[in-house]
């Protein structure tokens, strides 16, 4: 997977003599010792990480941990003291002001906690503002602005003033303005934290929907566990300016790197954050890869299912994408009727479940339809199966592991 952002040995010191603070850090002195002796603040200390293309990378930490400073270093709203920030292979830390402005206008956008809308401009003109600054002609920028307003569900509000919108709608305008320049990289600093819980959830779902369609790279600052676990592909936990652990939500919950991370997630119900991909198994259900001889495929699969006392199998193409589910009976009917394609044996009433489906929703599906459920990724790729037995075993494991 290609890396969109690579950060190496990044430091930020706030104060009149950052070089002095850097020497103190090299000699082993702590952030607190440097503040006590010099009054200077180490905002970010030796950050090293990468963000993959198309990933939502969440920065988490307590207040003052450095997460907002770090995201602002990525586009140099805060000037780094030391280190590299590579975006698409280009070092942002070493860019000229002209190159930096060009990057911000054309390929990088930021969404803040405060909506930061211009009150004298309409929703449409607020959305098009970045394009106007970039020199795009009026007709083109308004056309693009309308496109993204439709994407965020505000097309009918284009000619309203910001003051006529609710807080959630204003934040949608802020998101639309960022999307209007069609950036490959979006930086979002506590973007939804000013919203009430219902509106926040709506914005999270909207972000995930847009991400599924457009696959941008997103760095998202949050202090909310539910939000981070819901939207984040990976999470970086910060403490005292340091990144103390990076991993998927599941990895961090199960294997906290130190006491700080363990305390950060103390009392968290792991089952609450389990999703289908965490439960799916690849060794419980037969997978058929179709050949040119569908009748031979059916005969072979029927024999294997009978030997293992199973009744269902999944059909997966050479590209790894799920084609559907078959049963012994459906394949026997295909053989009896002279069918020449395995597609004729596919069952209509067994749909795949997305890898992001919550454990609660998964249980509901299994209860209603106690057949093996295939789990797929956003591209339809087969990841494994979930059955009643698999689900029960997983829940028992979780209970045993957290007693």
- The tens digit of pLDDT for each residue in 164-209 reads 998 888 888 988 998 898 899 999 998 888 778 888 888 888 889 8
Q: Where in the chain are the domains?
A: 3-107+183-268, 277-401
Per-residue b or e along 302-333, where b marks 16 or more CB atoms closer than 10 Å to that residue's CB: beebeeeebebbbbbeeeeebbbbbbbebbee
Region 300-320: mean pLDDT is 91
CA 178-182-186 angle, to 5 degrees, is: 50
Strand partners, 221: 59, 189
Q: Is residue 76 very low, low, confident or very high in pLDDT (cuts 50, 70, 90)?
A: very high
CATH number belonging to the domain at 3-107+183-268, selected among 3.10.20.600, 1.10.3720.10, 3.40.50.300, 3.40.640.10: 3.40.50.300
Q: Assess contact for 73 and 86: CB atoms under 8 A.
A: no
Strand partners, 234: 57
Q: For residue 367, is pLDDT > 70?
A: yes
Per-residue b or e along 1-22, where b marks 16 or more CB atoms closer than 10 Å to that residue's CB: eebbbbbbebbbbbbeebeebb
* Phi/psi at 34 (5° precision): -65, -40
CATH fold for domain 277-401? CBS-domain (3.10.580)
Q: How many CB atoms lie within 10 A of CB 341?
A: 12
Q: What is the pLDDT of residues 119-131, one digit of tens each?
A: 899 999 999 998 8
User: Which pLDDT score, from 0 to 100, does residue 267 have?
Assistant: 67
Q: What is the pLDDT of residues 223-271, one digit of tens each?
A: 888 888 889 999 999 999 999 999 988 788 878 888 888 888 776 766 6
The DSSP H or E segment spanning 157 is none
Cα 359 to Cα 370: distance, rounded to the nearest angstrom: 15
Q: Is residue 399 very low, low, confident or very high in pLDDT (cuts 50, 70, 90)?
A: low
Query: Of the candidates 50, 47, 59, which has an alpha carbon nearest to the alpha carbon of residue 2?
Result: 50
Strand partners, 239: 242
Q: Kindly state the DSSP code that residue 260 receives in the 8-state scheme.
A: H
Q: For residue 272, is pLDDT > 90?
A: no
Which pair of structure tokens corresponds to residue 228?
A: 């981070």
Q: How many CB atoms lie within 10 A of CB 209?
A: 12
Residue with tokens 């060009």: 102
* Phi/psi at 79 (5° precision): -80, 130
Q: Is residue 305 very low, low, confident or very high in pLDDT (cuts 50, 70, 90)?
A: very high
Write out the E strands in 260-390.
286-288, 312-316, 322-327, 353-354, 373-376, 382-386
Write the CB contacts of 337 (distance below 8 Å, at least 6 apart in sequence): 344
Report the predicted TM-score, pTM, of the whole model to 2 decimal places: 0.75
Cα 394 to Cα 210: distance, rounded to the nearest angstrom: 31
List of long-range contacts for 267-274, beta carbons under 8 Å, 24+ apart: 268/225, 270/398, 270/401, 270/402, 271/359, 271/395, 271/398, 272/359, 273/229, 273/249, 274/250, 274/358, 274/359, 274/394, 274/398
């Amino acid at each position: 997977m290609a890396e969109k952002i690579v950060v190496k040995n990044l430091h930020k010191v706030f104060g009149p003599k950052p070089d002095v603070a850097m020497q103190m850090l090299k000699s082993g002195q702590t952030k607190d010792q440097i503040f006590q002796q010099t009054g200077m603040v180490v905002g970010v200390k030796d950050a090293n990480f990468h963000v993959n293309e198309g990933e939502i990378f969440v920065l988490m930490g307590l207040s003052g941990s450095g997460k907002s400073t770090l995201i602002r270093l990525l586009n140099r709203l805060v000037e780094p003291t030391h280190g590299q920030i590579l975006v698409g292979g280009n070092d942002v830390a070493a860019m000229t002001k002209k190159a930096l402005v060009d990057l911000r206008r054309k390929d990088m956008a930021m969404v803040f906690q405060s909506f930061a809308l211009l009150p004298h401009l309409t929703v449409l003109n607020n959305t098009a503002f970045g394009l106007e600054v970039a020199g795009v002609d009026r007709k083109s920028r308004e056309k693009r602005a309308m496109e993204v307003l439709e994407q965020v569900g505000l097309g009918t509000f284009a000619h309203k003033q910001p003051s006529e919108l609710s807080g959630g709608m204003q934040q949608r305008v802020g998101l639309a303005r960022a999307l209007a320049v069609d950036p490959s990289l979006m930086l979002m600093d506590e973007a939804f934290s000013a919203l009430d819980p219902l509106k926040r959830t709506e914005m999270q779902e909207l972000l995930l929907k847009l991400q599924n369609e457009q696959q941008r790279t997103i760095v998202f600052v949050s202090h909310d566990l539910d939000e981070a676990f819901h939207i984040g592909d990976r999470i970086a936990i910060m403490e005292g300016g340091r990144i103390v652990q990076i991993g998927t939500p599941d990895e961090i919950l199960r294997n906290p790197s130190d006491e700080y991370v363990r305390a950060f997630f103390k009392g968290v119900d792991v089952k609450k954050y389990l999703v289908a991909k965490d439960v799916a198994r690849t060794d419980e259900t037969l997978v058929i890869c179709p050949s040119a001889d569908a009748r031979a495929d059916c005969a072979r699969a029927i024999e294997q299912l009978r030997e293992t006392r199973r009744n269902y199998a999944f059909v997966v193409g050479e590209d790894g994408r799920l084609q559907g589910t078959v049963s012994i009976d459906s394949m026997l009917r295909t053989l009896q009727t002279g069918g020449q394609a395995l597609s004729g044996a596919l069952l209509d009433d067994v749909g795949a479940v997305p890898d992001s489906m919550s454990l609660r929703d998964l249980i509901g599906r299994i209860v209603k339809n106690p057949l093996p459920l295939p789990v797929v990724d956003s591209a339809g790729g087969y990841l494994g199966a979930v059955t009643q037995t698999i689900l029960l075993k997983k829940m028992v494991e979780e209970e045993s592991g957290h007693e």
